[in-house]
Amino acid sequence: MSDDNGNNREIKCTDCGQLMVTAQFVSGVAGGYPELRRSRKGALSAQTHTAADCYVCLGCGLVKFYAREPQELRFRTEK
């Protein structure tokens, strides 16, 4: 994750306390970042999405994704 100045923050693993580092998540799609999506079915169908950053713990291997713009995952009807 980056702060407002674009500097990487040091992230500690919530499981073992070791350092987590950025990693590239490869899904078979060339280029780009992993994307988080939400969909609604029915008459008011809608889809929201945001890019995600991937981190992996160097100690235990825990993987975490952080939404770059989590507010973008809200539907218009959600506050």
Question: What is the percent of the chain where pLDDT is above 70?
Answer: 72
Place of tokens 């713990």: 57
Residue 28 pLDDT = 62
Residue 6 pLDDT = 46
Res 12 pLDDT > 60: yes
Rounded to an integer, the average pLDDT of 56-71 is: 92
User: CA 50: distance to chain centroid?
Assistant: 8
Question: pTM above 0.75?
Answer: no
Residue 15 pLDDT = 97
Interacting residues of 67 by C-beta distance below 8 A, sequence separation 6+: 36, 50, 51, 52, 73
